[in-house]
Amino acid sequence: MMTKQELHDEFWLLTKSVLQDSKIDADEARVIKRWLEEHRDGNSFDFLIGKLEGFLSDGYVDRFESQKIIEALGCVLRQLRAAE
């Protein structure tokens, strides 16, 4: 079992790799959603999972949705860093 710090670090690395091109497509959003679902700790990722489900409902992530996902990821990453 991973420690909370290890989970945060892994999520940060995943997010960093996905955001290398400053956008998120549907495949990348699905990868992030899957990781969040697999590493759910109580309801800590439910907000972001819900957002991703909504954006992925049509199977496509447009530029607006991509930007909203990036903003939501930024919020989660800031919260994780503040909790350390």
Q: pLDDT tens digits, residue range 7-59?
A: 889 999 999 999 999 999 999 999 999 999 998 876 678 889 999 999 999 99
Q: How confident is the model at residue 2 (pLDDT cuts 50, 70, 90)?
A: confident
How many structural domains is the chain composed of? Answer: 1
Residue length, the chain?
Answer: 84
DSSP state letters, 27-82 = HHHHHHHHHHHHT--TTTTHHHHHHHHHHHTTS---HHHHHHHHHHHHHHHHHHHH
Residue 77 clears pLDDT 80, i.e. is over it: yes
Could you tell me if 49 and 11 are in contact, meaning their C-beta atoms sit under 8 angstroms apart?
no
Residue 44 domain boundaries: 4-83
pLDDT for residue 43: 67
Residues 6+ away with beta carbon under 8 Å from 33:
49, 52, 53, 56
Could you tell me if 32 and 15 are in contact, meaning their C-beta atoms sit under 8 angstroms apart?
yes
Determine which helix (DSSP H) or strand (DSSP E) holds 5, and give its type and residue range. helix 4-18
